[in-house]
Every structure is written in structure tokens, then in C-alpha cells.
Amino acid sequence: MKIKALLALIATLFAFAAAPVFADDGVRRLALQVSDNDPGTMTKVLNVAANFSKGMLAAGHEYEIEIVAFNAGLHLYREDTSPVLERIQSFSSSVPNVTLSACGNTIKGMTKKAGGTAPVLIGDAHVVPAGVVRLMELNAAGWFVIRP
């Protein structure tokens, strides 16, 4: 993504922060999809989450972020193959109110492909039954879902 497009995305997120598009409790909720094994995409997702967090904190808004990884995007959370391992390992402690969700279906597929050996995920990642279903649940609950 070019700088201009990334800046437009960030501006959209900040506009979302000021808009009255949130649940009745006033909490701004953002879900980010990661479904490909591209270091640039993973970096963008982490940047968007960090920038959204900074914007919410600066505006005094409560917020939640959930990053949902499935298909090849699950490599984001794998200790052996993540191209952004150091950053993702410290992400939950450096950016508050973030949940890292890993697709259980993808884990099953990777385990089968690896002869029964499950991929080792970072400690902060928690497994959801299906990544796409999780995104649909979040959307139905009023979360703003994007794929950077």
C-alpha cells in the first residue's frame, strides 16, 4: 500500500473515532482481518491497530481491537514463521485492549499438513473455532471490520 493510501486509511479510522458509529455503551470496536502471509500486510495491520489505539486514547474514548488471523495470515501468530515475531510478541503489552484471535480451522489444517504437529502460537493468541465466523460475529455485534 502506498503512503497516500495508508494515510487515507488512518484518516478514515480517526473519522470513525469521532463518528457516532458505536455500540450503545460508547465503546469503539475495531476488528482487523489478516488472511495472507505477507509481512507488509501484517505490518499494516499492527500499524492500524496501534494508530487507532493512540487516537482513541488521545480522544478519551474507550475502545477494543480484535485482530483475527486465518488462512495464511495465521503465520502472524506463529512462533516459527511470523515475519513480525518480535513486534507481535510485545503488542498486547504495548497496545491496550487488543485481542489476538487465531482460527481453529486453520490450525487444524496446518496440523494435518505438518503430520500431526500443531503450530506453536505466541502466548497472547487465543483460538477461536473459525476466523471468518468470528469476524461475522463481531460485525453483527456492531464492530467495524476492515482488512488493511
Residue with the three cell numbers 489505539: 53
Is 57 contained in some domain? yes
pLDDT digits (tens, 9 = 90+) for 57-96: 999 999 999 999 999 999 999 999 999 999 999 888 899 9
pTM of the predicted structure, to 2 decimals:
0.84
Total domains in the fold of the chain: 1
* CATH number of the CATH domain containing 86: 3.40.1260.10
Is 17 contained in some domain? no
Q: How far is residue 72 from each of residues 109, 114, 139, measured CA to CA in Å? A: 11, 14, 22
pLDDT digits (tens, 9 = 90+) for 96-106: 999 999 999 99
Is 52 contained in some domain? yes
Is 3 contained in some domain? no
Instruction: Note down the domain range covering 54.
Output: 28-146
Is 108 contained in some domain? yes
Torsion of CA 108, 45, 24, 139, to 10 degrees: -40
